[in-house]
Amino acid sequence: MQKSDIVLIYGDKIKDNTKKLLNYLNLNSIIGEKDSIIVLKPNLVLPQDPSFGATTHNEIIVGIIEYLQYYGFLNIKIVESSWIGASTKESFKHNGYLEIRDKYDIELIDVKDDEYYLIDKNGIKVEISKEIMDCDYLINVPVLKGHCQTKMTCALKNMKGCISDKSKRAFHNLGLMKPIAVLNEIKSADLVIVDSINGDLDFEEGGNPVKTDRLIASFDSVLCDSFAASLLGYKIEEVEYLKIAESLNVGTTDFKNSKIIYLNKPSINNSNKKPKGSVKELSKYIESKNACSACYGNLIHAINKLQNNNELLNIDKICIGQGFKSIKNDKLVGVGSCTKNLKQSLKGCPPSANDMIEFLKKI
Least confident of 34-38, 157-161, 197-201: 197-201
The predicted pLDDT at position 177 comes to 94
The larger pLDDT score, comparing residue 224 to residue 306, is at: 224
Backbone angles phi, psi at 91, to 5 degrees: -65, -45
CA-based nearest residue to 60, from 182, 142, 157 = 142
Does the pLDDT of residue 279 top 90, yes or no?
no
- Read off the pLDDT of residues 42-80 as tens digits, 9 standing for 90 and up: 999 999 999 999 899 999 999 999 999 999 999 999 999
CA contacts within 13 A on the Cβ side of 241: 30
Residue intervals in the chain for CATH 3.40.50.11440: 5-262
Q: Alpha-carbon distance 47 to 92, whole Å?
A: 7
Q: Where are the beta strands (DSSP E) in 197-250?
A: 214-218
- Read off the pLDDT of residues 74-121 as tens digits, 9 standing for 90 and up: 999 999 999 898 999 999 999 999 999 999 999 999 999 999 999 999
Residue 271 pLDDT class (50, 70, 90 cuts): low
Quick check: bond before 179 cis, omega within 30? Answer: no
The predicted pLDDT at position 120 comes to 97
Does the pLDDT of residue 272 top 70, yes or no?
no
The larger pLDDT score, comparing residue 282 to residue 248, is at: 248
Neighbours of 214 (CB within 10 A): 24
What integer is the mean pLDDT of 310-337? 86
Residue 201 pLDDT class (50, 70, 90 cuts): confident
The predicted pLDDT at position 254 comes to 95
The predicted pLDDT at position 304 comes to 81
Mean of all residue pLDDT scores within the chain = 92
Residues of the chain with pLDDT > 70, as a percent, come to 98
38 and 27 Cβ atoms separated by less than 8 Å: no
The predicted pLDDT at position 353 comes to 80
The domain 5-262 is placed in CATH, from the list 3.90.640.10, 3.40.50.11440, 3.40.140.10, 3.40.1160.10, at 3.40.50.11440
| Burial class for 299, CB neighbours closer than 10 Å (0-12, 13-18, 19+) | buried
Q: Alpha-carbon distance 357 to 46, whole Å?
A: 20
98 and 92 Cβ atoms separated by less than 8 Å: yes
- Read off the pLDDT of residues 325-351 as tens digits, 9 standing for 90 and up: 989 988 889 999 999 999 889 999 888
